[in-house]
Amino acid sequence: MTDNRPILQASWRVRQQKIGAILLVLVGVGMVAALYLSLASQATLLGREIQYLEREISSTREESANLKTELARLLSYEASQARSDELLFRPAKTTEVHYILVPGYDGVHPVDFSAAEVSEADINFLPVEYSQSLFEWASIQVRGGDSQ
């Protein structure tokens, strides 16, 4: 004779499972919240750093403007003339000037500030990691190459 009574879980086990599930959900929510909090705080810190850097840029630009002006005053016509007078220099007369032929020299040309800007950009180039994709970076690493 077969006993067909259904086997019921003990009520304490059911409660434990429910509590476990709730705890699992709570832990999950907690982890998501912690992650969100972490990212939000990082974003805030970065935002604050950007604000700080913006102020730094602004103050550096003002300092740069001050230094440029100061340098221009030191190199001004009046200051240069005073220095040359102190050193007993005087402007040459046309009859005192001797011209020699220098191959390749074709005179003084007006200033080109573009060239200066380009060289500055060359110095401050970004590492390629900042522009390459993750796959590009990974493939270079696998090949054992240098991303630079």
Partner 1 sequence: MRKAFAWRSFSLASIFAMIGIVIVVQMARIQLSTEAAEFREEADRYKGWVENIYPARGEIYDRNGNLLAGNHSVYEVGVTLDNIENTQSVASILSSVLDLDYVDTLNAINNVDDEQIYLSLMDYASAEEVAELQRIQGDIEDDSASDEAYDSLAGVNFREHLARSYPENTIASNVIGFVNRSGRGYFGVEEKYNDLLAGVPVQVWIPADPNRVEEIPQVPDGTTLILTLDRELQARTEEILDQSLYNYGAKAGTIAIMDPRNGEILAMASTPRLDLSNYSAYDQIFDNVSEYNRAINMPYEPGSVMKILTMAAALDSGVVTPQTSYTDTGAYSVSGATIRNWDRKSWGNQDMTGCLQHSLNICLAWIAVEMGPDSFYDYMSEFGLGHPTGVDLSGEAGGRLKVPGDGDWYPIDLATNSFGQGVTATPIQMMMAASAIANDGEMVTPHILYGMLRDGQQYDFPPQTAGTPISKETANTLNEMLANSIVGEDDGATISGYRLAGKTGTAQIPTEFGWYSSDETNASFIGWGPVDDPQFMIYVWLERPTTSIWASQTAAPVFAEIAEETVRILDIPPDIIRMQYAVEQ
Binding site for partner 1 (CB under 8 A): 40, 43-48, 50-51, 54, 59, 61-63, 65-66, 68-73, 75-78, 91-95, 97, 99, 101, 107-108, 110-114, 117-118, 121
Which CB sits closer to partner 1, 3 or 112? 112
Single-letter code of the amino acid located at 106: D
| Cα 81 → chain centroid | 43
Residue 66 and residue 72: Cα distance in Å, rounded? 10
Cα dihedral angle (69, 71, 72, 74), rounded to 10 degrees?
130
CA–CA separation, 24 vs 45, rounded Å? 31
Shortest Cβ 87–partner 1 spacing (Å): 17
Cβ closest to partner 1, residue 12 vs residue 99? 99
Q: How far is the CB of 123 from partner 1 (least distance, A)?
A: 13
Q: Please report how close the Cβ of residue 128 comes to partner 1 at its closest, in angstroms.
A: 22
